[in-house]
Structure 1
Amino acid sequence: MAMLNPMPYEFLGVRHKPNLNNFFGFIYAKVTVPSSVKVPVLPWKDPETEDTIYPRGFFTGHYFSEELKAVEKLGYKVECYIGYEFSQQSLFNEYVNHFYEAKSKAKERWNFEFLTKEEAANKMFYTYAHEVVELNENHLILVSDTTPSRELLEAQDTDSVFVQNPLPQDIVGSGLGQFKDELK
């Protein structure tokens, strides 16, 4: 879960051409997206139009170091120019763990679920809109032709994702930071 990851805390200084592997903070960098990436994941804001896009090729921008480390694992090339280094602090661990434990105990003891406003809206949607609607063949072809990213991702919103293949079992469950299978 993202809230349990260390966060930037105290500003330590500006570093020129920092080594990404042992750096924590924000970096102005040149990013090159390899042609093998089907769906780019790093956003970039066009300074002229102010549109946020997920480009291919290369671009420069300010990014969190941990985000750049993650995209490097996907084959992105990162050239760091200037870094704004911070100490690391786990600011919300106690808070998140306290309420996660309270929610888990309440669910076990009373078979009761605490719902956020968004979870309640999602549950209501699935309760009342769980009807299969058949589309004619022409619409299916049109959708398939205009959305090549659907080869990997069926649908998503802020807290869920529909994918074609099952996720690995070690990341699915009711634990903190795991994906919950809403269709079971």
Structure 2
Amino acid sequence: MPTGVYQHVVGPIDITNPNLIAFVKAKITAPENLKVPLLPVRINGKMITGAGTWDGMYFSKELHYALSLGYKIEAYEAYIFEGRLVFNEFIENIYNERLKFPKSDPMNYICKLIMNSTYGRFGMAPILTDVKVFNRNDEHNYMDGTEFLDITNINENLVMVTSNTVENINLDIKNPNNNLQISLPIAIATTSYARICIHEYKQAAAEQGILLYSDTDSIRCSAPLPDELLGNGLGQLNWKVFLL
């Protein structure tokens, strides 16, 4: 995962380096007749996995994988990070904890939610909301220059105020000492790793002519995938629905 203070580099970037942990600006040319495109691009406000040529910024590991699919990549700028294992021990512990409970047990679902939301926490906006209940007669307690998001009448005496505090609005996200519990590099890298993992399954399904649809963590096929691609382990797909 990308951690530490980044180094900004302008010039040719060696994305064939398997140890490179960076966000790379590059000119991308997709191979012709690619059954399952990998790299997303935003066009007219919509995200697609396109064909043709375009410029974009991508995680280095995803570009490294794209080379194996036949993409032509001219990397000309990068933000290079230190690479460090961040989630491995935590996820393995939560996963093993989940295995202790049947799927009907709430703890099984709670463990699943914790694992699924890990990266999302790092990608949350740093502006946090504050919810308080006030007496209508105490306007001076909440009419203090705070930016209101919502004011809800509870009854004739009470109001519920949702707001961004002044401190939140003035947060300096570039200050390394601000103690914000977020990391966009980690969140972005995680989604890139996920695209790589699911793409390998999509490729296998497409080669058999059975791929119908794919999402972030699932695919729909017109026939079962080979047994060696399925399982109940961490990071594996399990077969749930057969579409006729």
Same fold (TM over 0.5): yes
Q: Which among 22, 27, 37 is matched to residue 25 of structure 1?
A: 22
SS in 2 for 1:115: helix
User: Equivalent residues in 2 for 1:22-61 (5 A)?
Assistant: 22=17, 23-46=20-43, 49-61=44-56
* Residue identity (%): 33
Return the offset for 1:72.
1.2
Structure 1 gap segments, 5+ residues each: 1-6, 120-150
User: Equivalent residues in 2 for 1:100-119 (5 A)?
Assistant: 100-107=95-102, 112=105, 114-115=108-109
Distance in 1 between the 2:224 and 2:13 partners? 39
Pick closer, same or farther for the CA change 1:77–1:152 going to 2, 3 Å.
Answer: farther
Distance in 1 between the 2:49 and 2:214 partners? 16
2:229 paired residue number? 171
The aligned length equals: 142
Counterpart residue identity of residue 57, structure 2: H
* Residues 1:96 and 2:91 are matched in the alignment: yes
Task: Give the number of the structure whose alpha-carbon radius of gyration is greater.
Answer: 2
Larger CA deviation: 166-175 vs 89-98 = 166-175
Give per-residue Cα distances to partners, 1:109-161, cap 9 Å, x unaligned. Answer: x9857236x99xxxxxxxxxxxxxxxxxxxxxxxxxxxxxxx55223344321
**TM-score of the aligned structures, taking structure 1 as reference length:** 0.67
**What is the root-mean-square deviation in Å for CA atoms of aligned residues?**
2.6
1:68 paired residue number? 63
Pick closer, same or farther for the CA change 1:157–1:166 going to 2, 3 Å.
Answer: same
Structure 2 gap segments, 5+ residues each: 114-208
**TM-score of the aligned structures, taking structure 2 as reference length:** 0.52
**Structure with more relative contact order (C-alpha pairs < 8 Å, separation 6 or more):** 1
